[in-house]
């Protein structure tokens, strides 16, 4: 999709030249000092690349990345001192152990986010360091362990390590590049942007995260093994070194988060800087001050990193004077995107979705209190009620954003209230939000392509934006009149436009029932008309709707039946006409002084 601009070609040529030079370097120079510097640059590049997957793509910032160097190093050390096994075996084992522990950590910390997650990663690193220190019979404790020398000709010096580590850098780049191009990568980015929403559009977030953790650790574990052989000595503070975690974070922030090459560039920069400070000041307290200050400066002044900043500069230069997308008008072509479902709607269609005795408490408040209602197939069912009557909470219980304290939700006769959100989405339940929740840094097209209608491991490797999906997404964007904005970042759209994109996004799931939370809230009348038209069209094609809405004329026009909620309970249900005459409804919801005819004719 990205065209080969001159800058891009120059960048590729530069990369190839750099790589060729790195491969050739030990062949013409036997300078062990510079080989050592480059070895460490490779190590930091591998660590940074791994960190970038879980922290750059998935947004889970970790300060524990050096734990995987330590795990890899100690795995190698423990095996190598006890058995005569070739490094060709111990290094892969080290990689596997690191990946396994990372996946386990991923399972264990599944529910922690933000602050709690960072705290856990620090604790994880320090507790491993403590175990290495205290479990002396296995690890040698604070005195460390000396590894046996590897058995290649001495005159090769450290060059074999150089090449193995360079190979790991190359693998890291390939892995990052591959991840970014697959569903796995877009899923991780969706998790970074809005994890709950990602679940609601069918992304199996736990599996994505656990695999993301494993991917972020596997090559780092291997690098730790190589590093242990290289040093021939391991000890707890050297291997589980929190300063290396800092270097990792710095490398990625400096080079550019969520880019393929940023972490590599950052790794090299950090090592050059580290080498300079070591030469001039020795490995002293001053180093801590320098790297601390550098980290503060990067966090404050260069949050995007070098590569994205440079890329933005080039793009800015290239597109100077070209109007942005914000001025584009809505494209009002009547589009048709969806194949009609075989439609046979009997007078009394079957019940598609049913809530039975739902209860949700927040502290002492019962937001939803013994709520029961059902939705017949092919209807547009309205869900109305005063503010705080539990409408949105009911949606959250139905689509799985929240778990009910009691009661059942059934979809096509099957209980779904214990299923996670993505499985409910796979069954055919789609939902939009009162305040739109698009993945703001993705483009509109990427947003619409993001939903997943099923889950399989093979799917993780599928292309991020495959051809037929793009076609379908384009059709859906046509359908809602937003195709002109396909390549704009979702966060730059107006609220009403975001609502339309979110509708297209949900339609990508090809849902049987669509829950719309205040579709008309905060958007202009023309857009509302358009939305009503679209809902009718979709309904005619067999989609069932449940709509929460405060716009009474719209509800009266569109919805039949209407379910009325008050204080978390259903107080009435029937046609709009019927409920408008229901004294209970008038009393609880519309309030005094409201006349029915005004509402209908308004």
Partner 1 sequence: MTGVIQTIVLGVLLGGVYALAASGLTLVFGVMNIINVAHGAMLILAAYLTFAIWTHTGLDPILAALITTPAMFGLGWLIYQLLIRRIRQAPASTSVLLTFAIALMIEGIIGLIWKGVFRAVTPGYFNDSVKVGSIYLPTARLYACVTAIAILVLLWLLLTRTWAGRAIRASSQNPQGAMLMGVDVASVAALTFAIGVATTGAGGSLISVLYPFFPASHYQWISRLLGIIVLGGMGNLTGAVVGALLMGVAENICAVYISVQWVTAVPYVVIFAVLLLRPRGLLGARTREDVAPA
Binding site for partner 1 (CB under 8 A): 55, 59, 61, 63, 108-109, 111-112, 114-116, 118-120, 122-123, 126-127, 130, 133-134, 242, 246, 249, 253, 284-296, 299-300, 303, 362-363, 392-393, 396, 401-402, 434-435
CB nearer to partner 1: pick between 257 and 534 = 257
Nearest-approach distance from CB 130 to partner 1, in angstroms: 5
Per-residue three-class SS string for 291-317: HHHHHHHHHHHCCCCHHHHHHHHHHHH
Give 109's strand partners: none
Structure tokens at 326: 């914000």
DSSP at 109? T
Residue 252 CA to residue 256 CA, distance in Å, equals 6
Nearest-approach distance from CB 406 to partner 1, in angstroms: 17
Nearest-approach distance from CB 428 to partner 1, in angstroms: 23
Nearest-approach distance from CB 64 to partner 1, in angstroms: 12
Please count the helices (runs of H) and the strands (runs of E) in the chain.
26, 12
Nearest to 260 by CA among 358, 174, 158: 174
Phi first, then psi: give them for residue 382, nearest 5 degrees. Answer: -95, 145
Nearest-approach distance from CB 182 to partner 1, in angstroms: 25
Using alpha carbons only, give the angle 322, 323, 327 rounded to the nearest 5 degrees.
165
Q: Is the separation of the CB atoms in 395 and 517 below 8 Å?
A: yes
CB nearer to partner 1: pick between 127 and 149 = 127
Nearest-approach distance from CB 390 to partner 1, in angstroms: 12
Q: Is the separation of the CB atoms in 425 and 200 below 8 Å?
A: yes
CB nearer to partner 1: pick between 253 and 486 = 253
Structure tokens at 15: 């990369």
Nearest to 355 by CA among 440, 416, 420: 416
Residue 279 CA to residue 270 CA, distance in Å, equals 14
CB nearer to partner 1: pick between 95 and 523 = 523
Q: Omega before 561 cis (within 30°)?
A: yes
CB nearer to partner 1: pick between 92 and 141 = 141
CB nearer to partner 1: pick between 313 and 495 = 495
Q: Is the separation of the CB atoms in 255 and 263 below 8 Å?
A: yes
Nearest-approach distance from CB 396 to partner 1, in angstroms: 6
Nearest-approach distance from CB 499 to partner 1, in angstroms: 14
CB nearer to partner 1: pick between 363 and 591 = 363
CB nearer to partner 1: pick between 64 and 77 = 64
């Amino acid at each position: 999709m990205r065209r080969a601009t001159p800058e891009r070609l120059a960048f590729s040529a530069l990369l190839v030249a750099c790589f060729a030079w790195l491969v050739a370097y030990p062949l013409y120079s036997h300078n062990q000092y510079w080989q050592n510097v480059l070895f460490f640059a490779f190590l930091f590049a591998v660590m940074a690349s791994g960190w970038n997957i879980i922290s750059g793509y998935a947004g889970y910032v970790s300060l524990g990345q050096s734990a995987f160097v330590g795990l890899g190093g100690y795995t190698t050390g423990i095996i190598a001192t006890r058995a005569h096994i070739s490094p060709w075996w111990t290094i892969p084992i080290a990689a596997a152990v690191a990946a396994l522990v990372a996946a386990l950590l991923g399972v264990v910390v599944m529910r922690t986010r933000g602050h709690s997650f960072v705290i856990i990663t620090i604790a994880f690193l320090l507790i491993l360091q403590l175990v290495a220190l205290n479990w002396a019979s296995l690890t040698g404790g604070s005195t460390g362990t000396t590894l046996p020398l590897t058995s290649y000709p001495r005159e090769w010096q450290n060059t074999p390590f150089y090449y193995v580590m360079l190979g790991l850098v190359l693998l890291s780049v390939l892995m990052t590049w591959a991840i970014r191009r697959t569903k796995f990568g877009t899923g991780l980015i969706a998790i970074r942007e809005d994890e709950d929403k990602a679940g609601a559009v069918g992304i199996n977030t736990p599996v994505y995260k656990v695999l993301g953790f494993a991917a972020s650790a596997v090559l780092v574990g291997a690098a730790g093994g190589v590093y242990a052989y290289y040093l021939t000595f391991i000890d707890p503070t050297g291997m589980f070194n929190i300063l290396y975690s800092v270097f990792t974070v710095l490398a990625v922030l400096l080079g550019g988060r969520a880019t393929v090459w940023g972490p590599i560039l950052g790794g090299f920069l950090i090592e050059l800087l580290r080498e300079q400070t070591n030469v001039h000041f020795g490995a002293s307290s001053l180093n801590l001050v320098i790297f601390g200050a550098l980290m503060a400066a990067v966090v404050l002044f260069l949050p995007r990193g070098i590569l994205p900043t440079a890329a933005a500069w080039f793009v800015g230069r290239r597109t100077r004077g070209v109007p942005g997308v914000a001025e584009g008008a809505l494209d009002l072509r009547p589009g048709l995107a969806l194949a009609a479902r075989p439609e046979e709607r009997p007078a009394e269609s079957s019940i598609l979705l049913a809530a039975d005795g739902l209860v949700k408490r927040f502290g002492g408040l019962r937001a939803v209190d013994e709520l029961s209602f059902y939705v017949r197939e092919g209807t547009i069912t309205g869900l109305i009620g005063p503010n705080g009557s539990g409408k949105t909470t009911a949606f959250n219980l139905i689509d799985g954003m929240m778990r009910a304290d009691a009661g059942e939700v059934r979809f096509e006769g099957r209980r779904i209230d214990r299923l996670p959100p993505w499985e409910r989405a796979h069954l055919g339940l789609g939902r939009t939000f009162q305040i739109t929740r698009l993945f703001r840094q993705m483009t509109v097209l990427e947003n619409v392509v993001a939903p997943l209608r099923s889950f399989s491991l093979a799917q993780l490797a599928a292309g991020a934006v495959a051809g037929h999906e793009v076609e379908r997404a384009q059709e859906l964007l046509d359908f809602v009149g937003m195709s002109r904005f396909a390549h704009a970042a979702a966060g730059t759209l107006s609220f009403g436009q975001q609502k339309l994109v979110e509708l297209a996004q949900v339609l990508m799931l090809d849902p049987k029932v669509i829950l719309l939370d205040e579709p008309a809230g905060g958007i202009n009348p023309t857009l509302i008309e358009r939305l009503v038209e679209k809902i009718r069209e979709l309904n005619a094609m067999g989609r069932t709707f449940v709509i929460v809405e405060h716009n009474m004329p719209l509800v009266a026009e569109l919805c039949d039946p209407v379910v009325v909620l008050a204080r978390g309970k259903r107080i009435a249900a029937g046609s709009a006409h019927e409920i408008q005459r229901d004294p209970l409804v008038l009393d609880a919801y519309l309030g005094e002084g409201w006349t029915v005819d005004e509402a209908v004719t308004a």
